[in-house]
């Protein structure tokens, strides 16, 4: 899997991994900006801008964008997180030139006022749709409560109020500041010709503006430690979300943290699975490690019938206290490791999987990591690494939110 990289004079970084046995390729633009880079007056602008990117450019109407992707059968999409806005397409290799053309073009959107006003409605509908999903809503509010003033607590979607108040010019100024060439990485994986790829990216992106990269407010947090109940009588099940601190994305402890999260709360064969799901005390229970620039966290959640919530919460806290005090067993570590190794191999079998790994490793690990590099990192994690994670990031220091029909729920002990 040969890795290639090239930097354009304007600071745009191009990275690629070629794989001759693939039958397709995937390519993506990773813009290093997200909800944590927003002030309260533009809450939701990164995600709204992601939508506007598909609404047309001086060369293309929204219809042209859609049609040009569809004509080549591209599987294309985009997502916005706290830290990144990523636009990608999976295609048959013969369409590489068209795909680079469209993707590069839309990354310089017109942001027309009438499109902006129309898309506002779509965003507000989307917020309503997510509000209909109780576990997502619990996640969003739990994050807000955990992070408090820390910018990672910003809502990705914003609120109907913040979106309504947002102007086209505010979005344009955010775009001009954040979508500069040095803040963008163009990546590709699969079966394609590297020199031709560089040539195409240079042709379409070589004139993009330079500018500042980086972000403010990068720091760790242990969370607020608060416990809140949001009563939603319309929701049938009780949804509980707990957050504990964890290592940041560039910490050497991230591999151990990932394995620890899996041992506690993978959807099969984990501590929480046996404690809650298998005996039928909850319809779901999960824990997993999430990493960001400068901070990380373990997200633990479960949903159950309301009358069962009190007991389930006690069981979850017992599990977290026990792991904090005694760690996990060698056998649990090995099981989590087997799962992760299998996940890494399977995730790498598609160009899109390698594309995401390539982009995210470049952003967070500051370099290239092959699939085998990742496998080796997980293979070398020991129980002592797990203890280091627990010593530094107390798993039972939880911030929690319950969302559902209950009016109250005893605070975790």
Active site amino acids = 50
Nearer to its own copies, 90 or 229 (CB): 90
For its own copies, the binding residue among 39, 113, 118, 214 (CB under 8 A) is: 118
Assess 91 for contact with its own copies (CB under 8 A).
yes
Q: How far is the CB of 261 from its own copies (least distance, A)?
A: 15
Select the residue interacting with its own copies from 132, 169, 193, 391 (CB under 8 A): 132
- Is 216 a binding residue for its own copies by CB under 8 A? The answer is no
Residue ranges in 316-335 that form contacts with its own copies under rule CB under 8 A? 334-335
- Nearer CB in complex with its own copies: 34/351: 351
Please report whether residue 70 would count as binding its own copies according to CB under 8 A. yes
Taking contact as CB under 8 A, which single stretch among the options 1-9, 125-133, 205-213, 287-295 is the one that binds its own copies? 125-133
CB of 265 to its own copies, least distance (A): 13
Residue 150 CB, shortest distance to its own copies, in Å, is 30
Q: Which of residues 247-286 bind its own copies (CB under 8 A)?
A: 268-269, 273-274, 277-280, 282-284
Instruction: Please report whether residue 62 would count as binding its own copies according to CB under 8 A.
Output: yes
Q: Does 137 bind its own copies (CB under 8 A)?
A: no
Question: Is residue 379 close enough to count as binding its own copies by CB under 8 A?
Answer: no
SS3 letters across the chain: CCEEEEECCCCCEEEEEECCCCCCEEEEEEECCCHHHCCHHHCCHHHHHHHHHHHECCCCEHHHHHHHHHHCCCEEEEEECCCCEEEEEEECHHHHHHHHHHHHHHCCCCCCHHHHHHHHHHHHHHHHHHHCCHHHHHHHHHHHHHHCCCHHHCCCCCCHHHHHHCCHHHHHHHHHHHCCHHHEEEEEEECCCHHHHHHHHHHHHCCCCCCCCCCCCCCCCCCCCCEEEEECCCCCCEEEEEEEEECCCCCCCHHHHHHHHHHHHCCCCCHHHHHHHCCCCCCEEEEEEEECCCCEEEEEEEEECHHHHHHHHHHHHHHHHHHHHHCCCHHHHHHHHHHHHHHHHHHCCCHHHHHHHHHHHHHHCCCCCCHHHHHHHHHCCCHHHHHHHHHHCCCCCCEEEEEECCCCCCCCC
Rule CB under 8 A: say whether 230 interacts with its own copies.
Answer: no
From 2, 73, 206, 217, residue interacting with its own copies (rule: CB under 8 A): 73
Interface contacts to its own copies, rule CB under 8 A: 21-24, 62-63, 66-67, 69-76, 90-92, 118-119, 121-122, 125-126, 128-129, 131-132, 134, 234-237, 268-269, 273-274, 277-280, 282-284, 303-305, 334-335, 337-343, 345-346, 348-352
């Amino acid at each position: 899997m040969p890795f290639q990289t090239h930097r354009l004079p304007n600071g745009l970084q191009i990275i690629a991994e070629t794989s001759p046995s693939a039958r397709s390729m995937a390519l993506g633009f990773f813009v290093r900006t997200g909800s944590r880079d927003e002030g309260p007056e533009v809450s939701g602008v990164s995600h709204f801008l992601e939508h506007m990117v598909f609404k047309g450019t001086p060369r293309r109407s929204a219809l042209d964008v859609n049609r040009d992707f569809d004509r080549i059968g591209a599987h294309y999409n985009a997502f916005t997180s706290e830290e990144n806005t990523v636009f990608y397409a999976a295609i048959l290799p013969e369409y590489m030139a068209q795909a680079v053309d469209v993707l590069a073009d839309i990354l310089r959107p017109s942001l027309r006022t009438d499109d902006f006003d129309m898309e506002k409605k779509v965003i507000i509908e989307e917020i309503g749709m997510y509000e209909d999903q109780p576990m997502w809503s619990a996640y969003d509010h739990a994050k807000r409560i955990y992070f408090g003033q820390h910018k990672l607590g910003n809502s990705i979607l914003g609120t109907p109020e913040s979106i309504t108040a947002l102007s086209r010019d505010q979005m344009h100024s955010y775009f001009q500041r954040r979508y500069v060439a040095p803040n963008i990485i163009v990546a590709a994986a699969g079966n394609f010709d590297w020199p031709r790829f560089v040539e195409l990216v240079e042709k379409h992106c070589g004139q993009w503006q330079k500018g500042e990269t980086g972000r403010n407010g990068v720091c760790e947090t242990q969370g607020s430690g608060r416990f809140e109940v949001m009563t939603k009588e319309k929701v049938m099940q009780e949804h509980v979300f707990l957050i504990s601190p964890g290592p940041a994305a560039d910490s050497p402890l991230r591999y151990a943290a990932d394995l620890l999260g899996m041992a506690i709360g993978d959807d099969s064969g984990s501590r929480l699975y046996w404690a809650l799901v298998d005996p039928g005390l909850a319809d779901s229970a999960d824990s997993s490690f999430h990493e960001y620039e400068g901070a990380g966290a373990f997200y633990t959640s479960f949903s159950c019938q309301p009358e069962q919530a009190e007991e389930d919460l006690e069981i979850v806290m017992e599990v977290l206290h026990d792991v904090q005090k005694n760690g996990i067993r060698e056998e649990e570590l090995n099981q989590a490791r087997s799962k992760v190794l299998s996940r890494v191999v399977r995730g790498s079998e598609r160009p899109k999987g390698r594309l995401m790994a390539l982009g995210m490793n470049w952003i967070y690990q500051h370099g290239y990591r092959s699939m085998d590099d990742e496998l080796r990192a997980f293979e070398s994690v020991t129980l002592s690494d797990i203890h280091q994670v627990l010593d530094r990031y107390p798993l039972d220091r939880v911030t929690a939110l319950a969302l559902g029909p209950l009016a109250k729920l005893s605070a975790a002990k």
